[in-house]
């Protein structure tokens, strides 16, 4: 399958058309941004880590009954995916308080939440991806009611799966962000699941093993991405 015209370039990935209108090729970059693009950098081989890790996770999620955009891994940086139309929602599930949740509600990072907590952001860089609730989503027709129901259901299925998946690699899943798209009118999981989009803390040391190392200048960013991929490849 050949890459044709570039359709889109995001902060971390490029998307290309193929000769099949129902399929795209995603090409993962090493570029890293944080704080809505204010902080910019490069994490060597991040694209390889995120591409390979996403393919492993999406393939296992399919087996668990979560439909995804994955068709097949093509190379270290490229994956063939279904040509979805992305819904403009960042779907976040939190198990432990951290990041913007801790800041917003004045809760210390690391406090276990008594139940997994789902939140949505409206994907809009100009607005800084503002928090949005179910009623807002329906009122603005960002998703239909039955689509929203499915998104909620799949998000918790992904959470249940990922908690176990990462525990096998001695990583605690603190929170993550996923995105969904429409393909043939159906809601399917799209985008990526990687150290860019999850918070992962080492079970033994509590060390941050994710993009917070870049966001917060904690050092060993590249090594940490490599370590997470190595653990995941060994244990899956």
Q: Applying CB under 6 A, which residues contact ligand ASP?
A: 11, 33-37, 211, 215
Which member of 77, 177, 208, 231 binds ligand TMP (CB under 6 A)? 177
Closest CA to 29 of 194, 207, 216: 194
> Radius of gyration over alpha carbons of the chain, in Å?
17
**Smallest distance, Å, CB 53 to ligand TMP?**
13
Tell me which of ligand ASP, ligand TMP, none is bound by residue 100, counting a contact when its beta carbon lies within the kind-specific cut-off of 5 to 8 angstroms.
Answer: ligand TMP
- Here the tokens at position 194 are 């990687």
* Closer residue to ligand TMP (CB): 69 or 177: 177
Tell me which of ligand ASP, ligand TMP, none is bound by residue 67, counting a contact when its beta carbon lies within the kind-specific cut-off of 5 to 8 angstroms.
Answer: none
* Closer residue to ligand ASP (CB): 12 or 71: 12
- Here the tokens at position 33 are 């941004």
**Smallest distance, Å, CB 206 to ligand ASP?**
21
Tell me which of ligand TMP, ligand ASP, none is bound by residue 199, counting a contact when its beta carbon lies within the kind-specific cut-off of 5 to 8 angstroms.
Answer: ligand TMP
Closest CA to 79 of 56, 51, 59, 58: 51
**Which helix (H) or strand (E) is 232 found in, with range?**
helix 221-235
The CA distance from 7 to 16, in Å, is: 5
Q: Which sign, positive or negative, has the C-alpha torsion 78, 88, 34, 120? A: negative
Q: 115: phi > 0 → left, psi -120 to 50 → alpha, else beta; which?
A: beta
* Closer residue to ligand TMP (CB): 192 or 227: 192
Does residue 208 bind ligand TMP (CB under 6 A)?
Answer: no
Instruction: Count Cα neighbours of 226 within 13 Å in the Cβ-side half-sphere.
Output: 7
**Smallest distance, Å, CB 228 to ligand TMP?**
13
The CA distance from 178 to 194, in Å, is: 10
Tell me which of ligand ASP, ligand TMP, none is bound by residue 213, counting a contact when its beta carbon lies within the kind-specific cut-off of 5 to 8 angstroms.
Answer: none
Does residue 225 bind ligand TMP (CB under 6 A)?
Answer: no
Contact predicate 12/31, CB 8 Å: yes
* Closer residue to ligand ASP (CB): 80 or 228: 228
Return residues touching ligand TMP (CB under 6 A).
92, 98-101, 175-177, 197-199
């Amino acid at each position: 399958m050949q890459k044709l015209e570039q359709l889109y370039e995001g902060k971390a990935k490029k998307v290309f058309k193929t000769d099949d209108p129902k399929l795209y090729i995603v090409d993962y970059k090493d570029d890293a941004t944080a704080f809505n693009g204010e902080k910019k950098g490069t994490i060597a081989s991040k694209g390889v880590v995120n591409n390979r890790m996403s393919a492993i996770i999406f393939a296992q999620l399919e087996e668990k009954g979560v439909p995804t955009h994955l068709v097949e891994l093509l190379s270290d940086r490229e994956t063939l995916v279904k040509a979805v139309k992305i819904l403009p929602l960042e779907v976040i599930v939190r198990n432990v308080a951290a990041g913007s949740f801790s800041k917003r509600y004045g809760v210390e990072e690391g406090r276990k939440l008594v139940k997994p907590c789902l939140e949505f952001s409206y994907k809009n860089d100009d607005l800084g991806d503002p928090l949005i609730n179910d009623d807002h989503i329906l009122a603005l027709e960002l998703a239909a009611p039955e689509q929203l129901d499915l998104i909620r259901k799949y998000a918790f299925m992904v959470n249940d799966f990922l908690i176990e998946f990462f525990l096998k690699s001695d990583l605690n899943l603190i929170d993550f962000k996923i995105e969904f798209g429409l393909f043939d009118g159906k809601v399917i999981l799209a985008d990526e699941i990687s150290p860019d989009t999850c918070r992962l803390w080492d079970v033994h040391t509590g060390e941050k093993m994710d993009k917070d190392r870049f966001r917060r200048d904690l050092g060993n960013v590249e090594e940490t991405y490599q370590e997470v991929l190595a653990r995941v490849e060994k244990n899956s």
